[in-house]
Amino acid sequence: MIKKASVVEIGPRDGFQNVKEFIPTEIKLNIIDGLVKSGYKKIQMGSFVSPKAIPQMRDSGEIAQIVLERYPNVDFFALVPNLYGAKAAVKAGLKEIAPVMSLSESHNMANVKRTCAQSIEEIRKIREELPDVKITQDIATVFGCPFEGEMSVDALVEMIGKLRDIGIHAFTLCDTVGMAYPTLVEKVFRTVKKAFPGDEFNVHIHDTRNMGILNSYIALENGVDSVQAAVGGLGGCPFAPGASGNTSSEDLVYMLNKCGCETGIDFEQLLKTAKYTKSVIDGNFSGHHINIPEKPCVVTQE
Amino acid sequence: MIKKASVVEIGPRDGFQNVKEFIPTEIKLNIIDGLVKSGYKKIQMGSFVSPKAIPQMRDSGEIAQIVLERYPNVDFFALVPNLYGAKAAVKAGLKEIAPVMSLSESHNMANVKRTCAQSIEEIRKIREELPDVKITQDIATVFGCPFEGEMSVDALVEMIGKLRDIGIHAFTLCDTVGMAYPTLVEKVFRTVKKAFPGDEFNVHIHDTRNMGILNSYIALENGVDSVQAAVGGLGGCPFAPGASGNTSSEDLVYMLNKCGCETGIDFEQLLKTAKYTKSVIDGNFSGHHINIPEKPCVVTQE
């Protein structure tokens, strides 16, 4: 059984960025405050992207400066698409950044308008120009691409090899559109951990096909260093009304805590934060707990 | 890894009974037809309960007679609350029935208006008066009771022992309000299979807390004989708007098929049936696949 699990909150980035209407900075800070109170030690607070591309993230610099000062014992990091964003994140005081590229050429082009080779070259520049920042590389579409379907694990190992050659040793393998499944998750983590024993591997799962909690569980069973999730299951896809987004943090933490797995996160406080988030944001919430009524519910017969 | 899994469809009973408006018999038959076409070998077609208590199930006798004639190679069974219902089910031609009682005294009283001792006495009468029918005993609240909380595994073993004394050797352990979690599911099935090696143990899971697929997976890993699920994730609780009901059949089958586990069920046909079900029934559908749009969905960044 899983004894200990590191759960990383990414709602303030992957969750918020899927909310159309701009969320006031004050509300974003209230939610981050609730997450810190819940016991989170690592939170992705936003992304340093073009305000034109993702207006929702335009206050990431301001938020970074505030939370770094308020919560010195919490690790905050941000997603960055390029060197420009990386510099802005470091300028805001962040000690860790997550550049993003896709295993799939077609998704990388659609997402960051570059070939994979061009992305690796950009990440090399980031590594060189910002030697002191921790880089945890996001690799998208590892478990499947909306254009190319299932991806090859050999191709993943090859890409990680190229990234290690430019000095990257921490990775987050992303299930971008929720195409992961248990045997694939097991194969991927067993393979990369065997190939690169000293490196850090995290997982980012989407619950699109109702396997978010199961895939996260399988990743933990196979020694993943941390599991990412979003409060309220916030996120999803603008083109998929009703479709689930990220794995719901409170559902995942509830399951792990019930299993006696040490998460360091207080479920009740987290649920309170999820309910507050739902009350102040008109988004796509797929977390189940926020839909369970206070009163016990008797089901007729079974 | 799980090589083979027996998935039992219970939507026409646990799913339909949670739909307020009466579903025309013809539509119920269309859905059962789609399930049979999908490859199901065992389907809970309804329940023989008081039409006053559950009007939705009032056509179970008619449906049983029709499907038994149409699909001789499929095992159909029904839930029965008492001897009266058991006789009606056998009269309709069913070869298997599922009487229901709860591990929890308080839920048993709320659900079937009897003490557990009175329920066992009723089941003894059913066993004696209907010696030729297969009895698969539903035990509700095994993984938790809305009134009493988590239940004792020792109490479960004791109850199964009493039921075996009256000739019952097949059981479905029910997660009535979705309180099961992986380590408990593992403990329950390891315990009962060790205590009663020759007997049949099935599982009935609700997805209330987003663990339906995970708990079903854990049950299969621990040798459960079959897993029950409902098409579209139909079901849920009349007192829990938005709360999930049973594990969604198409989500569960998709996961198992992707893992190379032999289910004998065609996912595409099942999804077609789930979408048809949603199109003709105004219910609480929690299955994720029926919410995924046809077009591939690109998520910004990860």
Alpha-carbon distance A208 to nearest alpha carbon in chain B (angstroms): 7
Distance from CA of A165 to the nearest CA of B (A): 23
Q: Which tens digits make up the pLDDT trace of B76-94?
A: 999 999 999 999 999 999 9
Average pLDDT, chain B: 94
Residues of chain A contacting B14 with CB distance shorter than 8 Å: 301-302
Active site residue A261: no
More confident residue, B95 or A1: B95
| A243:B288 CB<8 A | yes
The minimum CA-CA distance between A30 and chain B, rounded to whole Å, is 24
Please determine, for residue B302, whether its predicted confidence score (pLDDT) is greater than 60: no
User: Given this model, what pLDDT does residue A302 score?
Assistant: 54
Between B297 and B286, whose confidence is greater?
A: B286
By annotation, the residues of B acting in catalysis are 237
Question: Distance between CA atoms of B41 and B242, rounded to whole angstroms?
Answer: 30
Q: Are A73 and A94 in contact (CB under 8 A)?
A: no
CA dihedral A105, A111, A112, A115 (to 10 degrees): 10
Dihedral angle computed from the Cα positions of residues A143, A146, A147 and A150, in that order, rounded to the nearest 10 degrees = 30
Residue B255 has φ and ψ, to the nearest 5°, of: -60, -50
How high is the pLDDT of residue B244?
A: 72
Q: What is the pLDDT of residue B15?
A: 95
pTM over 0.80: yes
CB contact under 8 A, A239 and B295: yes
d(CA A245, CA A240): 9
pLDDT tops 60 at residue B25: yes
What are the structure tokens assigned to A250, written together?
A: 């409170």
Name the residue facing B302 among A204, A209, A260 (closest C-beta).
A204
- Record: contact A302-B176, CB cut-off 8 A: yes
The per-residue pLDDT for B284 is 86
Cα B10 to Cα B227: distance, rounded to the nearest angstrom: 10
Which residues in chain A have their CB less than 8 angstroms from residue B179's CB?
none
pLDDT at A237: 62
Under the banding of pLDDT at 50, 70 and 90, the label for residue B129 is: very high
Interatomic CA distance for residues B96 and B79, integer angstroms = 9
Number of C-beta neighbours around residue B248 at 10 A: 30
Q: Which residue of B has its CA nearest to A292?
A: B243
B287 in contact with A, Cβ within 8 Å: yes
Q: Please choose, from the candidates B145, B224, B160, the residue with its C-alpha nearest in 3D space to the C-alpha of residue B189.
A: B224
Comparing CA positions, the residue from B255, B201, B209 lying closest to residue B228 is B201
Q: How confident is the model at residue B291 (pLDDT cuts 50, 70, 90)?
A: confident
- Touching check for A177 and chain B: CB below 8 Å? yes
Q: Kindly give, in sequence order, each residue whose CB lies less than 8 Å from that of residue A294, ignoring residues fewer than 6 positions away.
A: none
**Closest partner residue to A181 among B214, B243, B259, by Cβ?**
B259
For B19, the closest chain A residue by CA position comes to A300
Q: List pLDDT tens digits, range B232-267.
A: 999 866 555 556 789 999 999 999 999 999 999 999
Confirm or reject contact between A74 and chain B (CB < 8 A): no
Interface residue B41 vs chain A (CB under 8 A):
no
**Region of B139 on the Ramachandran plot (φ > 0 left; ψ -120 to 50 alpha; else beta):** beta
Report, as ranges of residue numbers, the positions in chain A whose pLDDT lies below 70.
236-243, 295-302
Contact B292 A176 (CB under 8 A): no
The residue that leads in pLDDT, A176 or B157, is B157
Q: Which two tokens stand for residue B188?
A: 């329950």
Interface contact B44, partner A, CB < 8 A: no
Average pLDDT over residues B181-186: 98
State residue A296's pLDDT score: 56
Q: Which of A110, A146, A288 sits opposite B210 (nearest CB)?
A: A288
Q: Compare B189 and A283 and report the one with higher pLDDT.
A: B189
Buried b (16+ CB within 10 A) or exposed e, B169-181: ebbbbbbbbbbbb
- Asked if A243 reaches chain B (Cβ–Cβ under 8 Å), the answer is yes
pLDDT for position A221: 97
A142 Cβ under 8 Å from any chain B Cβ: no
pLDDT value for A286: 87
Most B-contacting residue of A13, A210, A270 (CB-CB within 10 A), to test interface: A210
**First-last CA distance in chain B:** 29
Distances (CA, A) of A68 to A24, A91, B108: 19, 12, 54
